[in-house]
Structures are given as C-alpha cells and as structure tokens.
Amino acid sequence: MVTILETGHARQTQAILFVVFLLIAFSSAGAQSTAELPSAPEPQNPSASEPPQEEKKPQSSNPAEEAAEETRKMTIDAAHATIHMGEAAMVHARNWEASWLTGVFVEKGRTMLPLTGQERRQLYLQQTLVTPGAYMKRMFAAGIDQVRGVPPAWDDGWGGYMERYASREGQFISANTLAAFGNAALRYEPRYDQCQCKGFWPRARHAIVRNFLTYDQSEQQLRPQLGLYAGSFGGGMISAAWKPGPRNAFAEGGRAMLGQAGYGALLNFFIEFAGDINRKIGAGKPEIQQY
C-alpha cells in the first residue's frame, strides 16, 4: 500500500516537472521569435531618391495651330532682320555720299604736315580722276547747265546734256591740273583743314577764308590761293575752245574764277560741318584718306 502511494506521488511530481519544463520552453521560444522580428520599414520619399524629371509640355492637339504660330514667329524675325539691314545700308550710303562730296581733307585735331611729291600726285588723282565723286559733281553741274539752257546752242535733250557734261569734265580736269602744278611749284597746301576752333560762326568764317587763303610749306603762314584761282582761270579759258559760238576766252576764265569763289566756299562749308551733318542723319564719320 505504501509502495503504491510512493509510486503515484513520484509520477505526479514528474508530471508537474514536465509541465513546468514545457511552459519554460514555450516562453523561451516566444521571446526569441519576438526578438528576431524585423522592424517595420519606414516610408520612403520617392522624390528624394530619384532625380527630378522635366515637366513635359503638353503637345498641341492641333498641328495646324502649331504650324501657324511657328510661321508667325519666323515672319516677325525676318521683318526685324530686314529693318536692321535697311538701316545699315542707309548709314553706309550716307557715309559714301559724304566722302564723295567732301573728298580729301585734314580732320580736326590732326597736325598738317607738308606733302611730298608722291603724296601730291596721289592727291591729284584722288580729286580729279579716281573717286566717283569727281564725276558726280560734274554731272550735277551739267544738270544745272541743262536747266539754265547754257550754252543755248546745245539742245535740251540727252545729247545736249552729254555735251554739257563733257564740257564741264574737260574744264574741271584742265583747272585741277593747272592748280596742282601751281601749288606744287609754290609749295602751297592744296587740302582743306577743318577749323580747330569751336562755335558756328568761327568755323563758318574759317571755311570761307580758306577758299581764298591757304598755307605755305610751313603749314602755318597763310598765303593767297594763287594756284587754285590761276587754275580756275586757265580751265575757263581752255573751255572756250570747244564751246559753240564766238567765245571770249578771258571772259570764260573770269566766269570760272567767280564760280570757284562761290562753289569753293560752299564746299568748304560742307566739309567743315560734315561730321555734324552725319550725326544728325545717323551716319558715322566718313572714311577720309589722309596724306
């Protein structure tokens, strides 16, 4: 009896120990599985990790409108380019017109130096035969003669104009050649120099005086324009040889000198104020060849 009770008590104790062991095992397994669980992932910002993408412009749903807009832009650009080209051409033309009319002169601020023989020859060709202005001035003068109807023996048609132009050109070449020889012999200055002064009236006075006086070889002392007016007188006398009707050579020479007095003063006045005129019309300074 005692033995049976001890055996039952022992089994009961083993059962209790087995249950305790299972509880401890399950508790350890649950704690281990809880510790090994990964932490929940944090939400990520896709804009921070990926580079920004360019915003796509919505394409026009109407190709005809898109083509019309492109054509309009091209037309505006072409119009602006045409305007700029026109303005540049006008400025270039104004500069050329100024250089044709003025010829060679000494600009303000430059020191005048005596001309060498080679420079005098170049200046003569420049003023007489080479530049278009030398011919355009004669064309203008022939047009005035055509309107006035002088000489009366020449008709008022195209043939009469060509005769008047040839007469003016021949007289001009003769006068310029004689003046060039005279100035070279006297060592006189054949160029016009812009006034170093300021103000309209002092500059205008300088332009008129320089048509009658010029510098000697010192480029400081003023002398009468003997070579210029002797050349004008000689050119007028020579022109009597081809003009129709009975002509007095001395009278033709005298008229040529009077023409030089008026035309020369007007040309000097234009040269003196050429820069101011160019600034008013928007052109730059004319490119003048210096000697």
Structure tokens at 16: 């209790």
Question: By the 8 A CB rule, do 190 and 227 touch?
Answer: yes
**Strand partners for 15:** none
pLDDT tier at 174, thresholds 50, 70, 90 = very high
pLDDT tier at 133, thresholds 50, 70, 90 = confident
**Strand partners for 193:** 106
pLDDT at 147 over 90: yes
Query: Against a cut of 0.75, is the pTM above it?
Result: no
pLDDT at 40 over 50: no
Print burial letters for 135-162: b (CB count within 10 Å at least 16), e (below 16): eebbeebbeebbeeeeeeebeeeeebbe
Measured CA distances, 247 to 167, 168, 238, 243, 268 (Å): 14, 16, 11, 7, 31
pLDDT of residue 203: 96
Question: By the 8 A CB rule, do 125 and 192 touch?
Answer: no
Tens digit of pLDDT for each residue in 252-289?
A: 999 999 999 999 999 999 999 987 877 776 655 555 55
The percentage of the chain sitting over the pLDDT mark of 70, rounded to a whole number, equals: 66
Tens digit of pLDDT for each residue in 79-119?
A: 666 565 544 444 443 444 445 566 788 988 888 899 999 99
Question: By the 8 A CB rule, do 171 and 256 touch?
Answer: yes
pLDDT tier at 206, thresholds 50, 70, 90 = very high
pLDDT of residue 12: 53
Q: Are strands 105-106 and 213-215 parallel, antiparallel or unpaired?
A: unpaired
pLDDT at 209 over 80: yes
Q: What's the mean pLDDT in 147-164?
A: 94
Whole-angstrom Cα Rg for the chain: 51
pLDDT at 238 over 80: yes
Report the SS3 class of residue 221: coil
| C-alpha dihedral (234, 237, 242, 244), degrees to nearest 10 | 150
Q: Which of 181, 199, 200 is nearest to 190 (CA)?
A: 181
Structure tokens at 139: 């064309």
pLDDT tier at 63, thresholds 50, 70, 90 = confident
pLDDT mean across residues, the chain: 77
Q: What's the mean pLDDT in 10-39?
A: 46
Q: What is the DSSP letter of 62?
A: -
pLDDT tier at 231, thresholds 50, 70, 90 = very high
pLDDT of residue 251: 96
Beta carbons within 8 Å of 194's beta carbon, 6+ residues apart: 105, 106, 107, 108, 203, 271, 272
- Phi first, then psi, for residue 233 (nearest 5°) are -65, -45
